[in-house]
């Protein structure tokens, strides 16, 4: 016989967390072939009643977290802001692993941090200077050629770097079926590094949105998803948490398919993973009906995390028999029930169906209003629960990030799925850098915010490239020319050879 659980509030939870003691999540997925035994979940009891005050835990909690960059930011140097995320350690990883991969392919390839930095600068320029193909930038046709890029490195060198670009040792990849098998092994070092950097460099506003983002990809990979109702219908799904005020990407996780404990829903696992670094700080999280369920919202109160989101009426413990039926409500009318510091509001907007919203920070007596147009197109105020108003106001954080991300992105077509993820993350670093720039300049003097997103990217590209050029002067000095005799000339090659090797 299942027994009801008594919910006990814990008001002695410390709200101070040292970043030195935080262990950043490094999730290595368990193979789908490894089946776990189902552990029965405890049964909760809820006594739903009409209306009610704002939840006691939310009213008593004092939010004291700062807002803005955690480190001083030089707004005159976009590259310094960018390197808070994409630092020299990442560049050295690219250098080491790219040279290792070339050696494994029996090819000679050597590069430097400066050259890789210039290569990424070229990618940034290609983002806001779009041409049909990569080769077009080196075209002899004046309608296509971009001297800025062709003067930095040759097409052959650019394609060589792109070919051998790597982040992890292929020989160390666990095989499918191994307990540590990771579908994202090729890009895992960058994912872990950026999640750590995104968290440690910015304090978000109190309101944080959790939603899904997409990496467009039509090639072959087991992590590709198809969502016909989304703007990007085929691609790699990314779970993201973003600041609702600025669009700054705080944490992200790339979806790899079904895995783990079947008793815990995917939406709940995503929310738990993306919010665990913000426990006991009083942040407010907003998410849609895919993520929300009543036990999860209840458990978030115990960690001083507050939540608001839409919820489907077929979820477990949903008070269908207590709330009014959809047909009983007219446009602008709503019904509210509360239990155990959880409020569920049913509000009728337009059409026949109602919107259900769950919250652990809004009460039944909290009422707001939203703009709607009548049949004549005239704007008017319509009453709505405060949970609905706040949800509409703060749910767009990830959409804000996606909007920034779509401007001048560096995503080129590629059959390598991990390269598409890298392009996505490179753009994410630039978006977060621009948000830090905007936030810092607005805190000091709004007039200093002279850069648009395009200006910021252009300046960043120039600073990444600096005065680098891989092109060297051709020809031989008179001293070297005297040392080369006729025996050192290859009959089918115009180049002289030394030690039987072509220069």
Together in a domain, 155 and 275: no
**Whole-angstrom Cα distance, residue 249 to residue 400?**
10
Together in a domain, 328 and 360: yes
What's the pLDDT at 171?
93
**Whole-angstrom Cα distance, residue 164 to residue 446?**
44
Residue range of the domain that includes 245? 204-406
Q: Is 2 contained in some domain? A: no
What's the pLDDT at 296?
94
H/E/C letters for each residue in 453-499? HHHHHHHHHHHHHCCCCCCCCCCCCHHHHHHCCHHHECCCCCCEEEC
Per DSSP, the residues of 142-188 read TTT--HHHHTTS-HHHHHHHHHH--SS-GGGPPPTTSTT--TTGGGH
H/E/C letters for each residue in 372-400? EECCCCCEEEEEEEHHHHHHHHHCCHHHH
| 3-class DSSP assignment, residue 297 | helix
Q: Is 177 contained in some domain? A: no
What's the pLDDT at 2?
45
Angle at 219 between CA 214 and CA 222, to 5 degrees: 75
Together in a domain, 396 and 436: no
Per DSSP, the residues of 436-454 read HHHHHHHHH-GGG----HH
pLDDT in tens, 27-75: 444 344 444 555 556 678 888 988 778 888 998 999 999 999 998 877 7
**Whole-angstrom Cα distance, residue 463 to residue 131?**
22
- Which of the residues in the chain have pLDDT under 70? 1-42, 260-263, 443-450, 471-503
Q: Taking the model in full, what pTM does it have?
A: 0.84
Together in a domain, 307 and 450: no
User: Are 241 and 209 in contact, with CB atoms under 8 Å apart?
Assistant: yes
Q: Is 197 contained in some domain? A: no
Pairing relationship of beta strands 234-243 and 354-359 according to DSSP bridges: unpaired
Together in a domain, 229 and 270: yes
What's the pLDDT at 214?
94
Together in a domain, 232 and 377: yes
Q: Is 37 contained in some domain? A: no
**Whole-angstrom Cα distance, residue 195 to residue 211?**
16
What's the pLDDT at 50?
85
What's the pLDDT at 459?
94
Together in a domain, 312 and 223: yes
pLDDT in tens, 378-434: 777 888 889 999 999 999 999 999 999 999 998 888 889 999 999 999 999 999 999
Q: Is 88 contained in some domain? A: yes
**Whole-angstrom Cα distance, residue 501 to residue 503?**
6
Together in a domain, 346 and 440: no
**For the chain, what is the domain count?**
2
Can you read off the two tokens belonging to residue 359?
Answer: 């919250």
**Whole-angstrom Cα distance, residue 71 to residue 183?**
34
What's the pLDDT at 444?
66
**Whole-angstrom Cα distance, residue 370 to residue 383?**
7
Cβ neighbors of 83 (< 8 A, separation 6 or more) are none
Together in a domain, 250 and 376: yes
| 3-class DSSP assignment, residue 32 | coil
Q: Is 16 contained in some domain? A: no
Q: Is 261 contained in some domain? A: yes
Percent of the chain scoring above 70 in pLDDT: 83
| 3-class DSSP assignment, residue 69 | strand
What's the pLDDT at 43?
78
pLDDT in tens, 196-239: 999 999 999 999 999 999 999 999 999 999 988 888 899 999 99
- What is the length of the chain? 503
Together in a domain, 124 and 158: yes
Helix (H), strand (E) counts: the chain? 14, 16
Per the DSSP assignment, residues forming a β-bridge with 381 are: 371
Together in a domain, 295 and 362: yes
Angle at 426 between CA 83 and CA 408, to 5 degrees: 115
What's the pLDDT at 260?
62
Angle at 261 between CA 256 and CA 265, to 5 degrees: 75
Together in a domain, 276 and 344: yes
């Amino acid at each position: 016989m299942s027994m009801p659980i008594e919910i006990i509030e814990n008001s002695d939870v410390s709200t101070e967390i040292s970043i030195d003691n935080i262990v950043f999540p490094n999730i290595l997925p368990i193979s789908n072939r490894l089946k776990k035994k189902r552990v029965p979940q405890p049964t909760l009891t809820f006594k739903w009643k009409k209306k009610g005050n704002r939840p006691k835990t939310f009213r008593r909690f004092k939010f004291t977290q700062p807002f803005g960059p955690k480190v001083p930011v030089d707004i005159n140097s976009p590259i310094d802001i960018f390197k808070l995320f994409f630092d020299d350690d990442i560049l050295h990883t690219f250098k080491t692993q790219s040279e290792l991969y070339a050696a494994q392919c029996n090819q000679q390839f050597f590069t430097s941090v400066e050259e890789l930095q210039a290569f990424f600068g070229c990618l940034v320029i290609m983002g806001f200077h779009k041409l049909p193909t990569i080769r077009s930038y080196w075209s002899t046709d004046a309608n296509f050629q971009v001297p800025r890029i062709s003067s930095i490195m040759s097409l052959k060198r650019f394609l060589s770097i792109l070919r051998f670009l790597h982040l992890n040792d292929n020989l160390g990849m666990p095989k499918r079926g191994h307990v540590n098998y990771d579908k994202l092994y090729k890009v895992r070092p960058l994912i872990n590094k950026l999640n750590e950097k995104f968290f440690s460099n910015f304090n978000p506003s109190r309101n944080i949105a959790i939603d899904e983002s997409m990496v467009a990809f039509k090639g072959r990979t087991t992590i590709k998803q198809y969502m016909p109702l989304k703007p990007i219908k085929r691609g790699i799904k990314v779970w993201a948490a973003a600041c609702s005020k600025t669009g700054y990407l705080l944490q992200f996780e790339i979806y790899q398919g079904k895995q783990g404990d079947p008793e815990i829903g995917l939406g709940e696992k995503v929310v738990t993973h993306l919010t665990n670094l913000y426990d006991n700080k009083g942040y407010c999280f907003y998410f849609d009906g895919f993520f929300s369920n009543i036990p999860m919202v209840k458990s978030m109160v115990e960690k001083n995390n507050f939540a608001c989101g839409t919820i489907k009426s077929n979820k477990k413990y949903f008070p269908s028999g207590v709330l009014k039926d959809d047909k009983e409500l007219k446009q602008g009318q709503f019904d509210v029930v509360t239990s155990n510091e959880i409020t569920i509001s049913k509000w009728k907007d337009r059409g026949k169906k109602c919107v259900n919203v769950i919250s652990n920070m809004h009460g039944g007596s909290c009422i707001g209003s939203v703009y709607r147009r009548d049949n004549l197109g005239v704007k008017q105020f319509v009453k709505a629960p405060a949970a609905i108003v706040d949800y509409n106001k703060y749910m767009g954080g990830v959409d804000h990030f996606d909007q920034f991300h779509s401007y001048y992105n560096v995503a080129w077509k590629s059959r390598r799925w991990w390269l598409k993820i890298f392009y996505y993350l490179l753009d994410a670093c630039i978006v977060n850098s621009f948000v830090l720039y905007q936030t810092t300049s607005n805190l000091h003097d709004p007039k200093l915010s002279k850069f648009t997103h395009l200006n910021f990217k252009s300046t960043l590209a120039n600073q990444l490239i600096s005065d680098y050029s891989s092109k060297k002067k051709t020809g031989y000095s008179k001293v070297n020319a005297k040392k080369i005799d006729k025996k050192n000339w290859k009959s089918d090659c115009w180049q002289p050879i030394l030690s039987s090797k072509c220069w």
